[in-house]
Structure 1
Amino acid sequence: MLTVAVSGATGVQGGATVRALLLAGHRVRALTRDPDSPAADTLRALGAEVRRADFDDRASLDAALAGADSLFAVTTPFGADTAVETRQGKALVDAAAAARLGHIVLTSAAHADRGTGVPHYESKHLVERHLRTAGVPWTVIAPAAFMENYSGDWTLDTLREGVFAWPVPSGRPFTLIPAEDIGAFAALTLQRRDEFAGRRIDIASDVRTPSQIAETLAAAIGRPIVHQEVPLTDVRTRSTDLAAMFEYITASGLDVDVAGLRRDHPEVGWHDFTDWAVGQDWAAHLASAPAHR
Structure 2
Amino acid sequence: MLTVAVTGATGAQGGATARALLKAGHRVRALTRQPTSPAAEALRDLGAEVRQADFDDRASLDNALAGSDSLFAVTTPFGTDLATEVRQGKALVDAAAGAGLGHIVLTTVAHADRGTGVPHYESKHLVEQHLGASGVPWTVIAPAAFMDNYATGWTLDGLRTGTFAWPMPAHRPLTLIPAADIGAFAALVLQRSAEFASRRIDIASDERTPAQMAEVLAAAIGCAITHQQVPLVQVRQRSTDLAAMFDYFTTVGLDVDVAVLHRDYPEVGWHSFADWAAAQDWPTLLSAATTNRRH
d(CA) in 2 for partners of 1:4, 1:123: 25
- The within-5 A match list for 1:16-35 is 16-35=16-35
Which residue of the partner structure matches residue 11 of structure 1?
Answer: 11
Whether the 8 Å contact between 2:157 and 2:289 is mirrored in structure 1 is no
- The within-5 A match list for 1:207-286 is 207-286=207-286
Query: 1:15 aligns to what SS in structure 2?
Result: helix
CA deviations 1:163-203 (Å, max 9, x no partner) are 00000110000100000000000000000000000000000
Identify unmatched segments of 5+ residues in structure 2.
Answer: none
Which residue of the partner structure matches residue 80 of structure 2?
Answer: 80
Identity of aligned residues (%): 76
- The within-5 A match list for 1:66-215 is 66-215=66-215
d(CA) in 1 for partners of 2:35, 2:154: 29
Q: Give the C-alpha shift of residue 286 in structure 1.
A: 0.5
d(CA) in 2 for partners of 1:195, 1:82: 32
d(CA) in 1 for partners of 2:38, 2:224: 36
CA deviations 1:49-96 (Å, max 9, x no partner) are 000010000000000000100000000000011110000000000000
Moved more, 132-141 or 146-155: 146-155
d(CA) in 2 for partners of 1:171, 1:83: 35
- The within-5 A match list for 1:45-56 is 45-56=45-56
After TM superposition, the runs of 4+ consecutive aligned structure 1 residues lying more than 6 A away are: none
Q: Give the C-alpha shift of residue 154 in structure 1.
A: 1.6
Q: How many positions carry a matched residue from both structures?
A: 293
Q: Give the C-alpha shift of residue 153 in structure 1.
A: 2.4
Q: Give the C-alpha shift of residue 137 in structure 1.
A: 0.3
Q: Which amino acid aligns with 1:72?
A: F
Q: Which amino acid aligns with 2:26?
A: H
CA deviations 1:223-251 (Å, max 9, x no partner) are 00000000000001111110000000010
Query: 1:217 aligns to what SS in structure 2?
Result: helix
d(CA) in 2 for partners of 1:156, 1:132: 38
Query: 2:165 aligns to what SS in structure 1?
Result: strand
| TM-score between both structures, scaled by the size of structure 2 | 0.98
d(CA) in 1 for partners of 2:151, 2:193: 33
Q: Give the C-alpha shift of residue 156 in structure 1.
A: 1.1
Query: 2:17 aligns to what SS in structure 1?
Result: helix
d(CA) in 1 for partners of 2:63, 2:55: 12
d(CA) in 2 for partners of 1:23, 1:175: 27
